[in-house]
Amino acid sequence: YQKFVNCYRCFYKLQPQLTRSIYDQFISQLQASIKEEIQEVKNEGNLEGLFSSLDKIVEEAKDREEPAWRPSGIPEEDVRSTMVPYCLKHRSYLRRILREKEEENRKVAESVLMGRDRIAELQLQIQARQQAWQ
């Protein structure tokens, strides 16, 4: 209130009760505006639903015996603890895909070689028939 009075000192000296009334009205309107903004943010972000789902997660976690994951305060360890299992799983997935692709490529290479052999045989037959015809 004192900061408000200091800003409007001349007006306060003339009518202190009116200044107090204006200050009270200003504060009440400001509080109402802030509450409206908070409600808009809640509605736009669906925060009520998120809060209720968070409460549900907390309730479900009460029955667990193992502790929940908490950051250690050391970013490298926190990232490592979550990323290493993911990276290992992804690496095994990529290795499996690589083996499948290598097998597929081997089969394709075999069929290409068989096709080349067949072409070579057909060329020999063509040459033999051509020589027999001449």
Reference 69, options 53, 57, 56; nearest CA is: 57
* pLDDT tens-digit profile, the chain (134 residues): 778 777 778 877 888 888 888 888 988 999 999 999 888 887 777 777 777 888 888 787 777 777 666 677 787 888 888 889 999 999 999 999 999 999 999 999 999 999 999 999 999 999 999 999 98
- The domain limits of the chain are 1-61, 81-133
Looking at the chain, list the stretches that DSSP marks H as alpha helix, in order from N- to C-terminal side.
2-7, 9-14, 16-45, 47-61, 75-133
Predicted pLDDT of residue 115: 96
Residue found under tokens 């290992």: 88
Global pTM reads 0.40
Predicted pLDDT of residue 69: 64
Predicted pLDDT of residue 68: 66
30 Rama sector, left if φ>0, alpha if ψ -120 to 50, beta otherwise: alpha
Dihedral angle of Cα 70, 72, 74, 79, to the nearest 10 degrees: -40
CA distances from 97 to 104, 106, 107 (A): 10, 14, 15
Which residues have CB under 8 Å from 5's CB, separation 6+?
Answer: 12, 19, 23
Instruction: Report d(CA 65, CA 75) in Å as an integer.
Output: 26
Instruction: Report d(CA 23, CA 18) in Å as an integer.
Output: 8
